[in-house]
Structure 1
């Protein structure tokens, strides 16, 4: 599959609806005829996956049948994590038994894969008292009290929308070259058999490291014992050797016994992180890892204003990561490129932080870290960032009679389920527009029928605040947050974007040509230093800043700006950038003091990349004012 065809599959998978050929052509900067040709090729390669309509265009209607000899198209919802969520929702919503045949036809996956998925669902359900996933000749069915089902549904919803930055299901879905589900089950079984305790919160990242080690070993890249290594404890050594023997038997390969040291050290470190080595030997000299982690945490705080060192898990995990990094550098072992593109697309701010930190770390170690190493550093930063960042909360007015006891329990459930996203400013028996005039309100939630338009996003919920109400509130909150982010960006962007730095139909044949022209104009205006362009090119060399949808966001590794400014180029025709062809280039030249704007910008970018239609009007903007209007216009005022 060509890169452009991969982009089309990503866009269709994320749009969850019809997209016209001319819109797809505008997004990718190609002709309608090229889109028709690509779609015909995709329909041949993946029969039944794409539906065509003369007026509506194209849409993705099913996952593609699994074929081990054919690479899976990027972006399709076919990971185990996504299937588990789908199956759980289906079992919760439908009381009728679900047959393997029907599910296989609906999801376009094999019955064998579905059977494994359903067993995994059964394990997840087992955490809830009185719930049980039963199956017989009629099919699979979730049995148990309704209140337990509702609790599971709420927590599933919360996990899907917020969730851990890296959870166990994501780890199991990362590795394509081998069966990580089997590896994880075998590894956890050995730990349980030996009564070896690992903190549950640490398990996903421990398994991530185990998976990396297995993938590396199966590729024939081995670590060997060094004389300066301290000996392993007997329990860890026995567990590690047994694990590697099992992996070798499963995959019919011979793994050097010395590899047990690497796995054993992982076990020791994750069971008792306070016993991490404070110093290691690096290039013939002692390296103080404790000091390095402290300096790195301070560097992160200087960058984003968050105290990463207050997160004990982050310090321990990054300390452990550094130990592994030093070992990989010593043996010149390269990490596999696991989930790099998904990381860049879903967490652009976190990934960019990881690039900055990796550059700083590389300068301390005297090396240039690979893009795959940057991706793994992003995992550690992201898992801590999601805990430390104080999320924006929507401000709401509640309309509900205060003398109605039955309704109070529903209000309590609403607050308990959405307290992390919602701040209730006040509660009234009835809400009028006059009551809202002098309050900074984002939305109104009403348990009573509304008799007038309030001019604000409004949601009417039922007395018992059921699952349908929860889903509707989640949808409305997402819309409110997206629009709020877009407005914040447009207001601030107006200060940073000048008409003379908006380039329409720019003729260029390479990224270097585009960046040289744009950076040259900024330098001539006195906005950036002579080091700006070299720093931008160095950043691109580390990890290209292109995204799926014909978009690139180049920026320097360090601030080299006298004044914060953005330059935007809408190219006359797409050019090859990194992985993808690019049509729209947004060059960031920001001072360190404008980090708050950077956060808003990358948050908006993440929202845009999750909604393909929202980039079309940006690509069509022909002036600075059109571009600003398109940002807010892509997130219309939510209404209900």
Structure 2
């Protein structure tokens, strides 16, 4: 997990990368929630590393189009280089790796010397981050006479190491490099290659994410065992046998675990203890696919999963469809895939096996409406099964749903077209047939006419596709092509169709947002300290205007507790998870002082309420808002607004 400072530096680079002009220091300070002096320091720090170069002028800052020569010659982040820890995160992780390996404790002065910083700097800047992270895993750093020792269960120490390996900037792509840096005396790459070969020979199907997660955890187990850190009785007995016996692939799983144990004994000269072997069995059992998705049926699922569980998940999916006003919420094959996925998620939760999703943040920001459906499903599921479902699992659910919508979502309304072509043998009929073959449901041909007929009585249509340069009516789009539909003509038509669809969407968006955004629900500089108080304050405003009840606001808090609604760095979009308001609205809070919101500090809070009869609009509303705030240019314009009228003008600038 990156430090607050590193997050701001990353955000600064992202802003500059996506800006087409110079960005002033005051604007950057506002966007990042930092002082202008801090911005100057961040720029200097980025330029010192040589990885990127930020240019400065009296107009502000911008990212240079090419990095300095020194930077281009250096290794990329994914290649990894053993360098001295230079930023807060790497110093924290370096310290943790040394603490994990130090059975007799570690001298504060020694570790400060290794980091080339003073003891006071180490105590004031590094150790608070170390303590904060290890506490998340029920571990503690005890200090006596300037010696530190990491205390807690071995199982929790392994979870901590797995977290550090998989939660760096590049996720699984650099997890082995992270482990190499943490354990320089251990041959990570050689061990990894052997484990991959064993898993590939196991006759088990393990998907890419599961395999990456499995390999990292196996590496951590072997690394810890080679330094005589085995699971102890205080960690509690692990009954992996009980889980494995339920599986159709139990023989392959046991055989794979035995091969890993044999490899360990041959390579390192000692046997894997029973509890550690049980842990390996458990990891394997929770990583394999229970059956091929192509073979799924209700009968097949019922043979490996309790029928009551199957019906419960299918019921939640039906409720989700009703909640989001989706008459046909995913088809039968996808419903069955989700049932199987939820069963695997339940097993992981019960056995407390982590399953990091390196794309979770990207899925949340780029597919917000789909992610929100996944939050609803996860909440209903966790309540029914009395388990915790974290954001990694929510993102996997969203991944399943999003893949379906991407593949099967219906196209926008067809574009109506008039085709103008002079009769010449069967050219007219052939051209229309070719158009229908090429564009399918994207177009609807309303008339095929000669030039004279069109000029005498032009029909209403979105576009005129013509082989003759004829004047067209009003705002109708004209596409001039030849009588034979070439690839160039197809590209031209497709571009114009996209432009028409985009124009429709923008007009629709303007009308929709104009209806939901109201002057009386715009607050400038709300006095709050965080998400909870902000939602409460905005709830009071809504209650005064008769738009929301205490039950609705309580449900907004519930939704926030399941997963943060800060979808971008500058914006939070709180909303209810089950309760409907009396009528639809968007309340806006625009702050100069950033509001702490989960992992973000936001300047804008758009509290959405969608009445039950309008729930079909929810996905459009969420999509439009995220799209607006994903633009650096628009966000900067919004930062400079003070009144509702200015905010609305800036908000609809890019969609109007």
Q: Does 1:262 align with 2:285?
A: yes
Structure 1 stretch 539-548 or stretch 425-434: which is displaced more?
425-434
CA–CA distance in structure 2, aligned partners of residues 602 and 20 of structure 1: 27
Deviation digits for residues 266-317 of structure 1, max 9, x if unmatched? Answer: 1534463236442779xxxx67222123202211221233356762331221
Other-structure match for 1:357: 377
Among 230, 240, 246, the alignment partner of 1:230 is 246
Among 487, 498, 508, the alignment partner of 2:518 is 498
SS in 1 for 2:291: helix
Distance 1:232 1:177, change over 3 A: farther
Q: Does 1:42 align with 2:50?
A: no
Is contact 2:349-2:389 (8 Å) kept?
Answer: no
Other-structure match for 2:173: 176
Q: Does 1:8 align with 2:32?
A: no
Other-structure match for 2:460: 439
Q: Does 1:582 align with 2:602?
A: yes
What is the CA distance between 1:470 and its match in structure 2? 6.6
SS in 1 for 2:389: coil
SS in 1 for 2:652: helix
Among 67, 73, 76, the alignment partner of 1:66 is 76
What is the CA distance between 1:329 and its match in structure 2? 2.0
Q: Does 1:314 align with 2:314?
A: no
SS in 2 for 1:559: coil
Is contact 1:273-1:316 (8 Å) kept?
Answer: yes
What is the CA distance between 1:338 and its match in structure 2? 2.0
Is contact 1:490-1:628 (8 Å) kept?
Answer: no
Is contact 2:628-2:651 (8 Å) kept?
Answer: no
Matching of residues 447-486 of structure 1 within 5 Å: 455=475, 480-486=500-506
Deviation digits for residues 504-523 of structure 1, max 9, x if unmatched? Answer: 23343322332221111112
Distance 1:228 1:510, change over 3 A: closer
Structure 1 stretch 616-625 or stretch 2-11: which is displaced more?
616-625
Q: Which runs of 5+ in 1 are unaligned?
A: 74-172
Q: Which runs of 5+ in 2 are unaligned?
A: 88-169, 178-189, 222-230, 232-237
What is the CA distance between 1:529 and its match in structure 2? 1.5
Is contact 1:18-1:59 (8 Å) kept?
Answer: no
Deviation digits for residues 89-128 of structure 1, max 9, x if unmatched? Answer: xxxxxxxxxxxxxxxxxxxxxxxxxxxxxxxxxxxxxxxx
Asked which structure has the greater RCO (Cα within 8 Å, sep 6+), the reply is 1
Distance 1:45 1:368, change over 3 A: same
Distance 1:296 1:590, change over 3 A: same
Other-structure match for 1:395: 415
Distance 1:293 1:507, change over 3 A: closer
Distance 1:544 1:320, change over 3 A: same
What is the CA distance between 1:5 and its match in structure 2? 2.0
Deviation digits for residues 544-587 of structure 1, max 9, x if unmatched? Answer: 11133411111122224222222111113222222222111100
Among 293, 301, 305, the alignment partner of 2:321 is 301
Other-structure match for 1:556: 576
Q: Does 1:208 align with 2:228?
A: no
Structure 1 stretch 462-471 or stretch 420-429: which is displaced more?
462-471
Deviation digits for residues 424-471 of structure 1, max 9, x if unmatched? Answer: 555566699989986352x56666667679535666668887777777
Aligned length: 523
Is contact 1:485-1:604 (8 Å) kept?
Answer: no
SS in 1 for 2:289: helix
Q: Give the TM-score normalised by structure 2.
A: 0.65
CA–CA distance in structure 2, aligned partners of residues 374 and 325 of structure 1: 10
